[in-house]
Amino acid sequence: RILCPAAKKTTTSKGNYTTITTETTTIESIDRQTQLRTMNPSEDEVLAALAHYRATVLQNNRAVFQRFVQHVETAALAAAENASVDPNRISRACQRFFYRKLYVSRPENLDPSLQINAPADVMGKWDALARAFVLDGAYVGADDKRREVLRQNYRNGVEAELRRIDPALRFPADFEILMSQVDSLEGPGWPQYRQEGQQVCFWEGLGESEDEAGCSVFGPDGRIAKELSLEDWETVAGWECGTGPETTCFVAYCRHEEDGKEWGWRYGAEQGQYGIEIFDNVVELLQWYETLYMPPLDYRLDIFMGDIFRQ
């Protein structure tokens, strides 16, 4: 244990004697205070990190779809120069390209505000498309009352099972702040990119009953807890919240004594052969997640384009 320089000096006199008392602060206590602040971000810090995450994902997707629009318009113009090509076939090919990117199989069932009749509609209807197809990386339902019910189901279901394992456990405060704003965390990319195994969905989101949510909870003998123990983490309980290629995402109440990390809620991704990523709070998680497997804007984006008439 290392002592810091004197923080406060008190001098008292009595007769011919003077007593000097020095109060010291230990490095340990400073580290503990810093750790507690780090592990328990304020509501403003969580909201700021979430806003930055969503803006980062949205900006990347907007740039990607602008490239897609340019690609499709160029292909359509080239096809139109061939008099033997039916204009309706060109139009259908353009629509099909974008609907596949958005993972839409029955476009006729979409609200008119989301239907894409021409490539220009993508940017013209961008705000509506971004919300409906989670192009900012976080789904937000339209019905606030239903969202509140689903939040309660998720929270109550998870917390009830956690407290069966340890009555002292409570739902993590920073995750509750997150849930007050969004209904899922799905990462960078667009629907097809995510669905076809290019991305990790950290939090699959709301929509389960209390019992279903509770089924995701694990104790100290669960698979994730055992994986964490290999990395010298002690785990009381937690729950699995998302998946991805070779990946299981989780929230765990754990500590790493050797590294001085005390008991607290942490967020992680067990990535098989690539090891485990663990974050002390939602803010750190979002800072990592906002660029995870982000679609490139260079020549590599070409592999997601292809011949629009052969898709």
Are residue 106 and residue 169 in the same domain, yes or no?
yes
Are residue 20 and residue 90 in the same domain, yes or no?
no
Helices and strands, number each (H, E), in the chain: 11, 7
Are residue 77 and residue 4 in the same domain, yes or no?
no
Are residue 127 and residue 243 in the same domain, yes or no?
yes
Are residue 48 and residue 168 in the same domain, yes or no?
yes
Are residue 67 and residue 6 in the same domain, yes or no?
no
Q: Please report whether residue 310 resides in a domain.
A: no
* Interval 57-113: pLDDT, tens: 999 999 999 999 999 999 999 988 887 778 899 999 999 999 999 999 999 999 999
pLDDT at residue 189 in the model: 97
What is the extent of the structural domain holding 20?
A: 1-39
Q: Please report whether residue 309 resides in a domain.
A: no
Task: Dig out the tokens for 268 from the structure.
Answer: 């992680």
State the Cα–Cα distance between residues 224 and 298, nearest whole angstrom: 37
Confidence band, pLDDT 50/70/90 cuts, at residue 311 = low
Are residue 5 and residue 152 in the same domain, yes or no?
no
Are residue 174 and residue 202 in the same domain, yes or no?
yes
* Interval 132-190: pLDDT, tens: 999 999 999 999 999 999 999 999 999 999 999 999 999 999 999 999 999 999 999 99
Residues β-bridged to residue 235: 254
pTM of the predicted protein model = 0.86
Q: Please report whether residue 311 resides in a domain.
A: no
pLDDT tops 80 at residue 35: no
Domain count, the chain: 2
The number of angstroms, rounded, from the C-alpha of 299 to the middle of its chain's C-alpha atoms is: 27
Q: Please report whether residue 148 resides in a domain.
A: yes
Are residue 70 and residue 24 in the same domain, yes or no?
no
Are residue 24 and residue 118 in the same domain, yes or no?
no
